[in-house]
Structure 1
Amino acid sequence: MSGPVVVGVDGSRSNLAVVEVAAQAAERLGVDLELTQVVGWPAGAGRFGVPSWEMDGTGGYASARGVLDQAERQAHRTAPHVRISREVLVGEPENVLEGESRTASLTVVGADGAQGYGTSRKGSLAGRLSARMSGPLLVVRGRPNPVGPVLLAVHGTSTLRGAAEFAFAEASARGVDLVAVQLRNISAARPYGGSARAVTADEEDAALTGALAELHARYPDVTLRCRRPRGRSRRALVEASADSQLLVVGARGRFGFVGLPLDPVCQTALREADCPVALVHC
């Protein structure tokens, strides 16, 4: 995609690190960076997505401009050649960012993002947003190893292709190895609303070999290593993330519309990984 990297801006000190990661991503992808500040609904406000500057006289949201000024300075220091745009929009953060993400190459948020001015929802923005995205979502968390590999969680055939393609592209752009961690005993082929069928180890191995071989041919500069950990697979994934600069995890479908949770691997990655997590909906 050629759309911008969209980053949620919330004014917190930790959010400047999120903006920095988003600026680096925009630079790698060769696209624009869009800084999006979401503010809450004032009484009598219009429909979703109304630019909040129209309400500065009564809504008290002029401070959002100062937040964006600070974020823009941080982004420019990090990636001085990236073109930056900025928006202040009204609504719930997950609604606004999900809408903005539809034309984005990547959406970036912090693991414990603030709510935005005057919003009513509680809890992690990353957690709420991850359940409804259709495009790739990067959640900035942990302490990434700047020289570590990109880590790919292989946990089922239905999510393998999209996640692997994203992981290869990131490893190539970053100039690092790609480590595919094949998780055991947690995969199933189950279209929602249908019956479950266990995916055999042979089927997983064949899918992994086929998908990775084709992508490896497209990215010959990437050194690929595969691991099949013993014991608790999800715990092994978390431990491997401590030495990685990015963890890529595939997720099935758009869960927010049917009220279904993310699968256990995605949930573990978002809660416990020690590096940023890219969630790729497939």
Structure 2
Amino acid sequence: MADKDVDDRWRGAAAPIVVGVTDDGASDPAVCWAAKTAARRGRRLRLVHGLDLVAVHSALGAYDVIGKGPTEHRRERGVQALAAARRLANALAPDLAIDLELSEANPVRLLTDASDSAHMVVLGATNGVGGVGHLGSVLFAVTAHGRGSIVVVRDAVADARARPYGPVVVGVDGGEASADAVAVAFAEADARRVPLLAVHSWSDLRFDCPAVLPDTFGGADFTSIGHRVVAESLAGWPEKYPEVEVIRRIYLSNPRRHLRQWSKTAQLLVVGSRGRGGITGLVLGSTSLFLVQRADCPVMVVHPH
């Protein structure tokens, strides 16, 4: 199946791929990744930049109207950033249809609203090690609150763009969010004509052998349970995508470690927005958050829609 024929349950064929463009170059890897994806799928690329002028006016008040104020400087930087992003995208895909949007809105609101009708929203992040701060508040908020598929491409994982034969890896835990991730992962693997690797860990806890299991878990056949969870989660999809080779990997614990390890050879890692149990009020599961920061390939966070 060609990329442009990807089955997306939530988006029409005309839905664009949206990229949040920054004025500091952090979004460049996202622009490159999105441009190639849009070109292969015959979709428009929509590059957006939010100025957040309400915040500027609140902070500066009357000072902003004296001379060529910060608002005008911010607007000029936004125009330049969008123009640079378009040049970058056109260099990779000369025939790609590209739309530019410079908005006065807050970028979080702009991108979150865009995610409701986009094929996917793609965000970039600069390299960094450690906490959420390295992602940036806008990226974290959109990844947590967006709808549909949100892809994070960090500059540290640029090499993953050169893995055309790497598998699509999906985290499977049996929950509702995981089910949505599985659906999207099958479509992505089919579009890319690569295998789908389904990874399941019996427990989110950290232990490596049954001998150290808590007494309440003693005797549990985690391998059989894991295979059953994966089989139930994947049910129906292999028939819909018969050309997708499915590989299953079952582990005892620590899904973060195993998913990150598989991300070293994957071209895309797909995860649900929340972990098993779907805790009310939890906008982004701990495993998903960890992988967005640490995975060695682009990460697609799939939200229930």
Instruction: Say whether the fold is shared (TM-score over 0.5).
Output: yes
CA contact (8 A) 1:150 1:245 kept: yes
Q: Alpha-carbon deviation of 1:129?
A: 1.3
Q: Alpha-carbon deviation of 1:259?
A: 5.2
Listed as ranges, the matches of 1:31-180 within 5 Å are 31-41=43-53, 42-43=56-57, 59-60=71-72, 61-112=75-126, 123-141=136-154, 142=157, 143-144=159-160, 145-180=163-198
- The residue that corresponds to 1:49 in the other structure is none
- Look up the equivalent residue of 1:100 and give its one-letter code: A
- The residue that corresponds to 2:254 in the other structure is 232
Q: Alpha-carbon deviation of 1:271?
A: 1.7
SS of residue in 1 equivalent to 2:109 = helix
**Taking structure 2 as the reference length, what is the TM-score of the superposition?**
0.73
Q: Alpha-carbon deviation of 1:207?
A: 4.5
- Look up the equivalent residue of 1:65 and give its one-letter code: V
CA contact (8 A) 1:151 1:241 kept: yes
> For residues 99 and 169 of structure 1, do their structure 2 counterparts lie closer, same or farther at Cα, with a shift above 3 Å needed?
same
Give a deviation string over 1:162-185, Cα, whole Å, max 9, x none: 111111111111121110111221
Give a deviation string over 1:42-61, Cα, whole Å, max 9, x none: 4279xxxxxxxxxx998211
- The residue that corresponds to 1:27 in the other structure is 39
CA contact (8 A) 1:109 1:138 kept: yes
Q: Alpha-carbon deviation of 1:75?
A: 1.1
Root-mean-square deviation (Å) = 2.8
CA distance in structure 1 between the aligned counterparts of 2:176 and 2:229, rounded to whole angstroms: 9
Name whichever structure is richer in helix by fraction: 2
CA contact (8 A) 2:47 2:98 kept: yes
Larger of the two Rg values belongs to structure: 2
CA contact (8 A) 2:173 2:200 kept: yes
Task: Structure 1: give runs of 5+ residues left out of the alignment.
Answer: 46-55, 114-121, 188-199
CA distance in structure 2 between the aligned counterparts of 1:245 and 1:277, rounded to whole angstroms: 9
> For residues 225 and 69 of structure 1, do their structure 2 counterparts lie closer, same or farther at Cα, with a shift above 3 Å needed?
same
- The residue that corresponds to 1:221 in the other structure is 243
How many residues are aligned here?
Answer: 249
Give a deviation string over 1:117-164, Cα, whole Å, max 9, x none: xxxxx9343222111112110000224134311110112332232111
SS of residue in 2 equivalent to 1:140 = strand
CA contact (8 A) 1:26 1:32 kept: yes
Between 215-224 and 203-212, the greater mean CA deviation after superposition: 203-212
CA distance in structure 2 between the aligned counterparts of 1:13 and 1:59, rounded to whole angstroms: 20
CA contact (8 A) 2:153 2:299 kept: yes
SS of residue in 2 equivalent to 1:216 = helix
> For residues 156 and 213 of structure 1, do their structure 2 counterparts lie closer, same or farther at Cα, with a shift above 3 Å needed?
closer
CA contact (8 A) 1:112 1:125 kept: no
CA distance in structure 2 between the aligned counterparts of 1:137 and 1:97, rounded to whole angstroms: 10
CA contact (8 A) 2:226 2:250 kept: no
- Identity among equivalent positions (%) equals 33
- The residue that corresponds to 1:184 in the other structure is 202
Q: Alpha-carbon deviation of 1:240?
A: 1.0
> For residues 69 and 157 of structure 1, do their structure 2 counterparts lie closer, same or farther at Cα, with a shift above 3 Å needed?
same
Task: Structure 2: give runs of 5+ residues left out of the alignment.
Answer: 1-10, 60-67, 128-134, 206-220
Give a deviation string over 1:84-104, Cα, whole Å, max 9, x none: 100001232211110111111
SS of residue in 2 equivalent to 1:36 = strand
Q: Alpha-carbon deviation of 1:12?
A: 2.6
CA distance in structure 2 between the aligned counterparts of 1:230 and 1:19, rounded to whole angstroms: 37
Give a deviation string over 1:10-59, Cα, whole Å, max 9, x none: 133342221011112222332211000111314279xxxxxxxxxx9982
Between 70-79 and 11-20, the greater mean CA deviation after superposition: 11-20
SS of residue in 1 equivalent to 2:242 = coil
